[in-house]
Amino acid sequence: MEMWITITIAAAAIQTLRLLLQKRLKGLGLSTGGATFARFFFNAPLLFLGLYLVVRWDGRPLPWPDSSFWPYVVVGGVTQIIATFCTVALFSERSFAVGVAFTKSETLLVAIFSAVILAEPVSWPGLVAILIGMAGVIVLSRPPSGWGAGGLFNRAVGLGLTAGALFGVSAIGYRGATLAVYSDSALVRAMVSLAAVTLFQGVSMALWLQWREPGEVAKVARSWRSTLFVGLTGLAGSLGWFWAFALMNAAYVRSLGQIELIFSLAVSVLFFREKVSGREIAGIALLAAGIIGIVTVA
């Protein structure tokens, strides 16, 4: 099995764990912004320490990125933050499930953006596998009352499509950043890019919270025993995604990463004793077929 496949699956599993831990933070009285900021609170110093150790182990000077590096970092970081806020905004919409389904357009959009921006097109068999996997995700996201219950032309759909597009741009930004670092080591390129993105997003989120939610940063700091684990799992998951982006076309990485939905469903069944419907089984089958196709043709 190729390294990018193992790393992507591990990143998806870690992200599932992070989301479970992050849900607990809401019980600590943290806002959505505070719970999100907890991901960055400890990550920047840990990343720079890890980068220092990896560079020492590699035995070569810290690689210097080219002029396109920071534009990719800023675009990727900003679009991810905005996409996250769009996704959070969906929680207050009546057609939430429909909107969330449209965020899954990300995988197809990443394939398009990858070809246009980075000149990294996917093969036709790869595109078919991506579409099969996306169909599985949409089936899994279908609301119990059906697609027509909330209408297909509403604010939730707009938010979902916007989030999907922005998450797609973000993935391309991160892939572009890893390619802009002059190093033969994919791990070093991933860590340099992730350190820059985390520093940028952490400072941006801190300034935002200080402006919009004064005192929230201090509340996150006081909850360090709980937020530390969220930060560490977020760090490990993010490193996995960036490492995979440094090794493979972002479209394949994000498509394979949808295995996270299967992990989440497994958690719901094993830990929360929820029952799996026939629709969910069909969605899992389609998603699994798409994932197998991606692993086969990539």
Task: Note the pLDDT of residue 153.
Answer: 56
Mean pLDDT over 283-293 rounds to 87
Comparing C-alpha atoms, which of 81, 215, 78, 101 is closest to residue 147?
A: 101
Integer distance in angstroms from the first to the last C-alpha of the chain? 11
**pLDDT category, 99, cuts 50, 70, 90?**
low
Residue 146 identity: G
Greatest mean pLDDT among 75-84, 100-109, 123-132, 238-247 lies in: 238-247
Helix, strand counts (H, E) of the chain: 14, 0
Give pTM, 2 decimals: 0.86
Percent share of the chain, pLDDT over 90: 29
Quick: pLDDT tens for 144-174.
566 555 555 567 778 888 888 999 999 999 9
Is pLDDT at 101 greater than 70 in this prediction?
Answer: no
Q: pLDDT at residue 258 above 60?
A: yes
Pull the structure tokens for residue 139.
């089936």
3-state secondary structure 116-171: HHCCCCCCHHHHHHHHHHHHHHHHHHCCCCCHHHCCCCCHHHHHHHHHHHHHHHHH
d(CA 103, CA 168): 10
Extents of the domains making up the chain: 3-297
| The predicted structure's pLDDT at residue 133 | 86
Q: What is the pLDDT of residue 41?
A: 73
Closest to 133 in 3D by CA, of 162, 160, 111? 111
- State phi, psi for 31 to the nearest 5 degrees: -75, 175
